[in-house]
Structure 1
Amino acid sequence: MQPTDKVTVAAIGDLHVTEQNVAPYREMFAEISRVADVLVLCGDLTNFGKTSEAEILAEDIRTSAIPVIGVLGNHDYECGQPEVVANILTAAGMTVLDEQAIEIKGVGFAGVKGFLGGFGRGELAPFGEPIIKAFVDEALNEARKLENGLRTLRTERSLAVLHYSPIAETLEGEPLEIFQYLGSARLADAIDRFDHVKAVVHGHAHHGTYEGQTMRGIPVYNVAQFVVREQFKRPYALLEI
């Protein structure tokens, strides 16, 4: 494949694998392997971040015939062992993005979980109590990690991978009151610094809108499987990068 050839990316978020699941995504991963070059998973891969849940998903990941990359989501932190979840998935062959970026077939991939914090006038500012400042610092740290990952890429095309949304537009359909808990504009600020970012994918907003864009016009896709299924009658999106 030449560096200028388009790469087909299958993206899905919010898998929410539970202990009761048996090979929940094996058939879908096989299907995706036939129609895409890369599989991207946008967080909430497990339901509670349990070791057993991660191991069930890992068995399905091992059957994928194409590279699997992605990020963790807030559900993957619930048991307080995100590193264990990440290690299990990594051992199965998945690249869990966080501090590093990766290039596949001429396309760069950088990603983080992201964090909440809001948008526009509703964006939380680092003012007042120390706990508020620490909250905002977490959002800033996720944005910094994303920016650093994107900066390391030397590709002409890249995809930013998130769990939380970087824009409010793809949250439409969710109650307005919870927008601030579903993403952070600071992520979009990091993304918009780079000309090579051609698209962004995220999950988390189960009742949101499929497509939006950053201030610079970079396409953003909410690939939470519940949103994508309504859009395409299948649980994953296909993007050409």
Structure 2
Amino acid sequence: MGQSANSNTVRFAAIGDIHVTKDSAGSLRALFAQAGAAADALLLCGDLTDYGTAEEAQVLVDELSVVKIPIVAVLGNHDYESGTPEVVTAALTRAGVRVLDGEACEIEGVGIAGVKGFAGGFGRGSLGAWGEPAIKVFVQEALNEVRKLESALAKLRTPRRIAMLHYSPIVGTVEGEPVEIYPFLGSSRLEEPLLRYPVDAVFHGHAHRGTMEGRTINGVPVFNVAKPLLQRSRPDVPPFRLFEVARELAESPVEA
């Protein structure tokens, strides 16, 4: 399974917003097997379960059992719904999945920084920490996620780097959603660490009706890999995004 270790690229398959329920058993193994055959590593970008329950997490783990390549994940807001995201994390960790929440890891020489992220809006539309205490708490949650992302990126020492989130760091990949809900789909505050610690690519989910690809201010590609979006936008191919990163520093990443 996966690509040859002798290849001059490392290939990643990325997907988010799987929304596994207790009735999902048996419905995702073919997709995960395809991703495992096409890539050297699988990136899961949050909303892996629908309500964040132990039962859903076990179904997810069972479906992922066909994958023989490394798996790296971040959680999404749905994985927090039942108030016990640690249950989802524990199930995935026992199955050998690396769940990142402000941490970093390395796969075949490529560094990966991961965090859930949070909402708050983009650019001049960003919510400020002013007024009622509840507003300040909301904004502080976004700032906490920014700090976690920055900490994870700062730990990477590899020449090639990838960032994975659930919420979007740019407005470009949420376009297509109702404008009224943009502030709940991500935060441009999450883009700031990506400007200080450049990466080869960013992957996120959450915006089911958004846009598949955008770029940060400094030109880094950002991919929205929400499964519903990929299914609707590319109905003839499996709903995951492939991205190749050159092993040699002199080479440039190639989007598959």
Taking structure 2 as the reference length, what is the TM-score of the superposition?
A: 0.91
| 1:25 Cα offset (Å) | 1.7
Q: Find the aligned partners of 2:10 and 2:165 in 1 and give their Cα distance.
A: 19
Structure 2 partner of 1:134: 137
User: Unmatched 5+ residue regions in structure 2?
Assistant: 246-256
Between stretches 26-35 and 9-18, larger displacement belongs to 26-35
Alignment partner of 1:218 out of 206, 217, 220: 220
**1:69 maps onto 2:72 in alignment:** yes
Between stretches 59-68 and 210-219, larger displacement belongs to 59-68
Q: Find the aligned partners of 1:125 and 1:187 in 2 and give their Cα distance.
A: 14
Does the 8 A contact of 1:62 with 1:93 survive in 2?
no
| 1:59 Cα offset (Å) | 1.1
SS in 2 for 1:171: coil
Alignment partner of 1:189 out of 178, 189, 192: 192
| 1:70 Cα offset (Å) | 1.1
Does the 8 A contact of 2:25 with 2:63 survive in 1?
no
Alignment partner of 1:240 out of 240, 244, 251: 244
Structure 2 partner of 1:198: 200
SS in 2 for 1:238: strand
**1:93 maps onto 2:102 in alignment:** no
Alignment of 1:112-151 (within 5 A): 112-151=115-154
| Residue type at the aligned position of 2:32 | F
Does the 8 A contact of 1:23 with 1:57 survive in 2?
no
| Residue type at the aligned position of 1:159 | I
Structure 1 partner of 2:254: none
| 1:231 Cα offset (Å) | 3.4
| Alignment: residue pair count | 239
Does the 8 A contact of 1:97 with 1:112 survive in 2?
yes
Q: What per-residue deviation string (whole Å, max 9, x for no partner) do you get for residues 4-40 of structure 1?
A: 9321100001000001121232111111111100100
Structure 1 partner of 2:170: 167
Question: CA separation of 1:53/1:114 partners in 2, compared to 1, >3 Å: closer, same or farther?
Answer: same
Alignment of 1:2-151 (within 5 A): 5-151=8-154
Does the 8 A contact of 1:61 with 1:68 survive in 2?
no
Q: Find the aligned partners of 1:182 and 1:77 in 2 and give their Cα distance.
A: 16
Identity, % of aligned positions: 54
Does the 8 A contact of 2:103 with 2:115 survive in 1?
no
Does the 8 A contact of 1:13 with 1:223 survive in 2?
yes
Q: Find the aligned partners of 1:52 and 1:113 in 2 and give their Cα distance.
A: 22
Q: Find the aligned partners of 1:167 and 1:115 in 2 and give their Cα distance.
A: 12
Structure 1 partner of 2:251: none
Q: Find the aligned partners of 2:139 and 2:243 in 1 and give their Cα distance.
A: 32
User: Unmatched 5+ residue regions in structure 1?
Assistant: none
Taking structure 1 as the reference length, what is the TM-score of the superposition?
A: 0.96
Q: Find the aligned partners of 1:111 and 1:221 in 2 and give their Cα distance.
A: 14
SS in 1 for 2:112: strand
Does the 8 A contact of 1:26 with 1:60 survive in 2?
yes
Q: What per-residue deviation string (whole Å, max 9, x for no partner) do you get for residues 91-146 of structure 1?
A: 11111011310000010111111000000111001111111111111000001101
SS in 2 for 1:7: strand
SS in 1 for 2:9: coil
Q: What per-residue deviation string (whole Å, max 9, x for no partner) do you get for residues 60-97 of structure 1?
A: 22221100101000000000000111001111111101
Computed over aligned residues only, the root mean square deviation of the Cα atoms, in angstroms, reads 1.2
Does the 8 A contact of 1:162 with 1:202 survive in 2?
yes
